[in-house]
Amino acid sequence: MTPAMNSAAPRPSVLFVCVHNAGRSQMGAAFLTHLAGDRVEVRSAGSAPADTVNPAVVEAMAEVGIDVSAETPKVLTVEAVQSSDVVITMGCGDTCPVFPGKRYLDWRLEDPAGQGVDAVRPIREEIERRVRGLLGELGLGLGLELGPGLGTPAASA
């Protein structure tokens, strides 16, 4: 446990939501899990989940040392939203239930569906930048640290 973490403090939970849970939300969850480890409970889901994670997303994440090939899209449930402290929507529109006391962030990002890895890379980089900023907002102090194979710190995040 790092000195920045208070052992009595509850572990925050974050839910990433997009339509198919095959691209943006998978990348967000993977970056947060990779960077925060067990300091944050991470979930992802989709309002209309696909059968598999987008292959271009799998390839783009592998380029930065994160393997999402075994992940499967999951359906968004009311329980997932209720049990999360922060809900990050990524283009799911009004399908995400809203509950009092939750923090909602809407990250407007291009949808990687049907695009190749060259188009997914900038989306991946923007998600990584935003996840690093989120880490700082959660008080985990990890926002500017680099993991193996990851991009450069986003000082303006």
In whole angstroms, give the CA distance from residue 18 to residue 45.
7
For 52-85, b/e burial (b = at least 16 CB within 10 A) is ebbebbbebbeebebebeebebeebeeebbeebb
Contact 121, 113 (CB under 8 A): no
Distance of CA 36 to the CA centre of its chain: 11
58 as an active site residue: the answer is: no
67 as an active site residue: the answer is: no
Secondary structure of 4-64 in the HEC alphabet? CCCCCCCCCEEEEEECCCCCHHHHHHHHHHHHHHHHCEEEEEECCCCCCCCHHHHHHHHHC
Catalytic entry in 17, 96, 117, 123:
96
Catalytic entry in 14, 17, 18, 56:
18
Catalytic entry in 45, 64, 92, 134:
92
41 as an active site residue: the answer is: no
- The set of catalytic residues is 18, 92, 96
